[in-house]
């Protein structure tokens, strides 16, 4: 039975009976299953081992982040944005910060822009490392997890050095960044990009790219043609793994990405292996961007010079009455944002993560909506996984790289 799920996109669902005359078996997969990357529940109809129908059930990680943002002042909201896509906090911060800045009509200084790029690329690396480690674990390459988390831990150390927090950094804020990079941070970054990462990506490739088990588990599995990917709204490595060179950092540059020299990673394989190759290439490109950002890191302030938006320096409070007033206003009422609405999209490790803000001119947002890549990409799951074996479905969920916290918000 062929069912249309979008224009021209069909899935072949069998009827009530399987190929050998037996009944289809409905299996509840998840929500608590180690390979669902969070709490994803799938109601799967099986014919023997073959998947004949998938109904994703989401919402188990819904934490009401959008509602919560309406009750928080503009600068408090940053802390919440860290927590929906918990594998790429600075990238979510950036989407929110850019949206608020667009509404306020301010632009951050060059040094802040470069520091934002550094944090975003480090996050992309760490997000891809988690992906590679967990996917490797699922598909039989257990040592990947150890190796990838070793490098991720270095990134965590850098997060701690620059922001004081290992995971939910809240580093990027409307108006600039939290703190300037310390010499120790720049030293760590230099060592990490020049020595550690350049060598280790080669090591990961040596472990996986020509590994016969990895290749047989991923090549030809979970095909998604370029046409289907576009119609289903897939973004990120899902889209680029289908051969479409679309990357928001190139297509609609933000935060100074147009000044960096890097390539869009694509693969024409359209399958799980293609998406793996895209992520490997993206890790190399991220290292390239980090090198450039480090070499050309401009001097200057890291915040906009606007006392109505950011608190005055601590030492001014002792001498200036005006500084005390600004400080008091900011920490009691906060600042207000002119009425209007704006949508800003940034490229996260998973695809387009955007932030839509509607302001009514008060000191709290009227509505904040996060466009999450996982939420949209997950809708392509049935298209990719139908008529595959249930073990291959694990590979497909893995390479789709959905983060359920991002999906459910």
84, with CB counted inside 10 A (0-12, 13-18, 19+), is: buried
* Residue 367 touches other proteins, criterion: CB under 8 A: yes
User: Could you say which of 5, 179, 194, 324 contacts other proteins (CB under 8 A)?
Assistant: 5
* Residue 226 touches other proteins, criterion: CB under 8 A: no
* Residue 361 touches other proteins, criterion: CB under 8 A: yes
Nearest to 403 by CA among 92, 21, 152: 92
199, with CB counted inside 10 A (0-12, 13-18, 19+), is: exposed
Identity of the residue, 190 or 360, whose beta carbon is nearer to other proteins in the bound complex: 360
Shortest gap between Cβ of 362 and other proteins (angstroms)? 8
* Residue 307 touches other proteins, criterion: CB under 8 A: no
* Residue 334 touches other proteins, criterion: CB under 8 A: no
Identity of the residue, 290 or 404, whose beta carbon is nearer to other proteins in the bound complex: 404
Q: What is the DSSP letter of 246?
A: -
Q: Distance (Å, rounded) from C-alpha 60 to C-alpha 405?
A: 9
Taking CB under 8 A as the binding criterion, the range among 18-26, 167-175, 310-318, 338-346 that sits at the site for other proteins is 338-346
Cα 37–Cα 250–Cα 95 angle in degrees, nearest 5: 55
* Residue 369 touches other proteins, criterion: CB under 8 A: yes
Q: Distance (Å, rounded) from C-alpha 212 to C-alpha 139?
A: 12
Inter-residue contact 350 to 373 (CB < 8 Å): yes
384, with CB counted inside 10 A (0-12, 13-18, 19+), is: buried
Shortest gap between Cβ of 82 and other proteins (angstroms)? 20
Q: Distance (Å, rounded) from C-alpha 32 to C-alpha 54?
A: 17
Could you give phi then psi for residue 30, rounded to 5 degrees? 90, -165
Identity of the residue, 99 or 141, whose beta carbon is nearer to other proteins in the bound complex: 99
Inter-residue contact 85 to 65 (CB < 8 Å): no
* Residue 268 touches other proteins, criterion: CB under 8 A: no
Q: Which DSSP helix (H) or strand (E) runs through 158?
A: helix 143-163
* Residue 71 touches other proteins, criterion: CB under 8 A: yes
Give, as ranges, the residues between 160 and 179 that touch other proteins (CB under 8 A).
Answer: none
User: Could you say which of 345, 393, 396, 404 contacts other proteins (CB under 8 A)?
Assistant: 345
User: Could you say which of 129, 310, 376, 403 contacts other proteins (CB under 8 A)?
Assistant: 376
* Residue 363 touches other proteins, criterion: CB under 8 A: no
Nearest to 222 by CA among 377, 397, 344, 374: 397
* Residue 31 touches other proteins, criterion: CB under 8 A: no
* Residue 47 touches other proteins, criterion: CB under 8 A: no
Shortest gap between Cβ of 44 and other proteins (angstroms)? 17
* Residue 306 touches other proteins, criterion: CB under 8 A: no
Q: Distance (Å, rounded) from C-alpha 108 to C-alpha 392?
A: 46
Cis? peptide before 31, omega within 30° of 0: yes
Shortest gap between Cβ of 400 and other proteins (angstroms)? 14
* Residue 198 touches other proteins, criterion: CB under 8 A: no
* Residue 251 touches other proteins, criterion: CB under 8 A: yes
Would you tell me how many other CB atoms lie within 10 Å of the CB of residue 335? 20
Q: How many residues bind other proteins (CB under 8 A)?
A: 45
Helix axes 143-163, 183-191, angle to 10 degrees: 160
Alpha helices by DSSP H, 255-359: 272-295, 321-332
* Residue 209 touches other proteins, criterion: CB under 8 A: no
User: Could you say which of 32, 67, 216, 296 contacts other proteins (CB under 8 A)?
Assistant: 67
* Residue 258 touches other proteins, criterion: CB under 8 A: no
* Residue 59 touches other proteins, criterion: CB under 8 A: yes
Identity of the residue, 187 or 258, whose beta carbon is nearer to other proteins in the bound complex: 258
Residue ranges that bind other proteins, judged by CB under 8 A: 5-7, 9, 58-59, 62, 64, 66-68, 70-71, 102-103, 105, 230-233, 246, 251-252, 339-343, 345, 352, 354, 356, 358, 360-362, 366-367, 369, 371, 375-376, 379, 408-409
């Amino acid at each position: 039975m062929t069912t249309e799920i979008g224009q021209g996109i069909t899935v072949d669902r069998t009827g009530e009976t399987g190929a050998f005359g037996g009944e289809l078996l409905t299996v509840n997969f998840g929500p608590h299953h180690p390979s669902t990357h969070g709490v994803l529940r799938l109601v799967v109809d099986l014919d023997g081992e073959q998947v004949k129908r998938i109904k994703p059930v989401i919402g188990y990680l819904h934490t009401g982040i959008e509602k919560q943002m309406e009750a928080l002042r503009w600068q408090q909201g940053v802390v919440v944005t860290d927590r929906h896509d918990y594998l790429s906090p600075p990238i979510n911060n950036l989407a929110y910060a850019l949206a608020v800045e667009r509404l306020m009509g301010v632009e951050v200084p060059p040094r802040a822009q470069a520091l934002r790029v550094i944090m975003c690329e480090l996050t992309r690396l760490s997000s891809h490392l988690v992906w590679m480690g967990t996917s490797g674990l699922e598909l039989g390459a257990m040592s990947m997890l150890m190796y990838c988390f070793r490098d991720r831990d270095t990134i965590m150390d850098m997060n701690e050095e620059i922001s004081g927090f290992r995971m939910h950094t809240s580093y990027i804020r409307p108006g600039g960044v939290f703190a300037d990079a310390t010499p120790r941070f720049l030293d760590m970054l230099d060592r990490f990009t020049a020595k550690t990462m350049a060598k280790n990506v080669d090591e990961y490739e040596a472990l996986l790219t020509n590994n016969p088990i990895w290749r047989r588990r991923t090549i030809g599995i979970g095909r998604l043609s370029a046409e289907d990917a576009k119609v289903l709204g897939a973004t990120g490595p899902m889209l680029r793994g289908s051969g479409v060179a679309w990357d928001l950092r190139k297509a609609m540059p933000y935060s100074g990405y147009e000044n960096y020299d890097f390539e869009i990673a694509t693969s024409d394989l359209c399958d799980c292996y293609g998406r793996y190759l895209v992520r490997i290439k993206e890790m190399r490109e991220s290292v390239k961007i980090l090198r450039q950002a480090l070499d050309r890191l401009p001097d200057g302030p890291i915040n906009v010079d606007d006392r109505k938006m950011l608190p005055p320096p601590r030492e001014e409070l002792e001498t200036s009455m005006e500084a005390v007033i600004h400080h008091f206003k900011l920490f009691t009422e906060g600042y207000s944002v002119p009425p209007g609405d704006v949508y800003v999209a940034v490229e996260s490790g998973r695809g387009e993560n955007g932030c839509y803000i509607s302001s009514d001119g008060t000191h709290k947002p009227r509505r904040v909506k996060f466009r999450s890549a996982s939420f949209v990409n997950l809708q392509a799951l049935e298209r990719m996984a139908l008529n595959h074996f249930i073990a291959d479905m694990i590979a497909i969920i893995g390479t789709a790289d959905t983060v359920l916290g991002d999906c459910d918000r």
